[in-house]
Amino acid sequence: MIHILEKFSNAIGVSGNEDEIRALIEETIKDHVESVSVDFMGNLYAVKPTKAKNAPHVLLVAHMDEVGLMVTGTESNGLLRFSPVGGVDSRLLVSKRILLGKERVPGVIGAKPIHLQDRNEWKSPLPLSALYIDIGASDEKEASAKVPLGTFGTFQTVFESQRDVVLGKAFDDRAGCSLLTELLMTEDDEEYPVHITAVFTVQEEVGLRGASILAERVRPDYCIAFEGTTAGDVPRGPSESPSTEMRKGPALSFMDRTAIGSDKLIDHFSQTAKIKNIPYQYKKTVSGGTDIGVIHMKGGIPSLVLSVPVRYIHAPKGILAVEDYKNAICLAKEALMNFKEVL
């Protein structure tokens, strides 16, 4: 199971530049579905029909894109100015290694050395305007030739395993993409009793843009989104509750800032987990948003988000418990195989 997540995590796919990860997903799933296609925005569609009569049509969604950077300026000394793409925390950026463009030009995010800062600058994190990317260029001409304006950048992070956890970049939402891929790779004697359209969407991190066309284009009866979500089981105040916790199973969401989950679907997934003895939890915060926000709003489609808890999402390296990932696949598969209970 984990080898697919590893491949997807190591691939590059900043919002608006998803070509590499889309090609990798398509190559992985093409022999397990009836058809694949790509729309004008770059969303990847996979159709997996059923022989069951009067079967409901279920849309399964995971977004391909990851947060990253875009080069927006070049200084005379060859240093590059940049802007974030998606929700990037500037406090995490100083000294991080970056890969730029298709050529994977290596760079380091730099800032004024602490030895040259005055004491007032020590009191707060450096703003993005004080940061730059250093690719070792000697001047503006050399830097622009290697890395033109508009070039996307991603963190130079390599997937690795450590005991019962894995570490890597872009688990939001390569964990969801890998999970969805695993669901499509059924055995010859297995068939879901639902018609499935799986969509790997683009530009979720910059405003749910890819998913905004899906409700009318697909017209499903139900929608389920697979996500990597914040694991809040880190040091916190005594009155603060973690959003989710690692090693407690996949999380079901009642509500976030963009949508309220379907009672029918929440009940079906939770009851399936109890019957099959699969660990699960409920997400305890209502922050953030997912693709079902625009799908649910535009189509009035009963929807649900199933998430894998991840520590440090949107950071250069996240941590995910293997058992949570495997239990998410197990729960989603069992729930889809018994989907008649939703009706």
61 within 8 A of 224, measured Cβ to Cβ? yes
Q: Which helix (H) or strand (E) covers residue 334, if one does?
A: helix 322-337
Cα–Cα distances (Å) from 240 to 64, 236, 257, 281, in that order, read: 31, 6, 19, 17
Q: How many CB atoms within 10 Å of residue 75?
A: 13
Q: Is 204 a catalytic residue?
A: yes
* Token pair in block for residue 191: 């068939």
Please state whether beta strands 57-63 and 195-201 pair in parallel, antiparallel, or not at all (unpaired).
parallel
Distance CA 98, CA 270 (A): 41
Angle between helices 19-29 and 2-10 (to 10 degrees): 160
Angle between helices 171-184 and 19-29 (to 10 degrees): 20
305 within 8 A of 228, measured Cβ to Cβ? no
3-class secondary structure, 32 = helix
> At 138, which amino acid appears?
S
Half-sphere exposure of 19 (CA within 13 A, CB side): 4
Question: Catalytic pick from 182, 204, 227, 245?
Answer: 204
- Active site positions, annotated: 204
